[in-house]
Amino acid sequence: MIVIQVLLICGIVAVFGWLLLNPRSQQVHAWIKILAAAFTTFGVVVIISPGTSDRIAHSVGVGRGADLLLYSIAVSFVYVMVSVYTRNIDEQEKFEKMARAIALLDTRVRELNDLLTETQEQKKKT
């Protein structure tokens, strides 16, 4: 097994495991930013000097720098996807709780209103 295969498999497993164990930590969100910065830098290096990125790629067993970038993007994509999904679930839950509170409050107000109208009507009759 070539170096890159080992690295990629370890990367995917580690990213998934770590993310799923700490989906809501500040660290996860910080890492997304660090990853974005690293990719921007690497992207710039690939454009300016394809030779440098190729040399990095060769050192881990990948043919071209562009391929290494693609592999890294694939791992990062999984990372970002799981992270965004988890965050989305949290937001959805908050949203749902708020909507439920509004619905129950609205029902209570209507019930009290009906009661008030009923009492007023009874008063008028007497």
Partner 1 sequence: MQQDVYVIIPVYNEAPVIGAVVGAVSRVFSNIVCVNDGSYDDSAAEIVKTGAVLINHPFNLGQGAALKTGIDYALQDADAAYFITFDSDGQHQIADAVGMLEVLKEGAYDIVLGSRFLGRADNISLIRASVLKAAVAFSNLTTGVRLTDAHNGLRVFNRRYARQIDITMPGMAHATEFVHAIATGKFKYTELPVTILYTEYSKKKSQSLFNSINIGFDLLMRRISKK
Q: What is the DSSP letter of 22?
A: S
The two tokens of residue 104 are 């129950």
Asked if 27 is part of the footprint of partner 1 (rule: CB under 8 A), the reply reads no
Shortest distance (Å) from residue 48 CB to partner 1:
39
**Cβ nearer to partner 1, comparing 30 with 95:** 95
The answer to whether the CB of 69 falls within 8 A of the CB of 42 is yes
Residue found under tokens 């019930």: 111
**Cβ nearer to partner 1, comparing 66 with 89:** 89
Question: What gap in Å lies between CA 2 and CA 28, rounded to an integer?
Answer: 29
Tell me which of 37, 52, 85, 112 binds partner 1, using CB under 8 A.
Answer: 85
Question: What gap in Å lies between CA 7 and CA 57, rounded to an integer?
Answer: 12
Site string for partner 1, 92-111 (x = CB under 8 A): xx--x--xx-xxx-xx----
**Cβ nearer to partner 1, comparing 77 with 85:** 85
Longest dimension (CA), the chain: 96
**Cβ nearer to partner 1, comparing 32 with 82:** 82
Question: What gap in Å lies between CA 11 and CA 73, rounded to an integer?
Answer: 11
Binding site for partner 1 (CB under 8 A): 20-21, 23, 82, 85-86, 89, 92-93, 96, 99-100, 102-104, 106-107
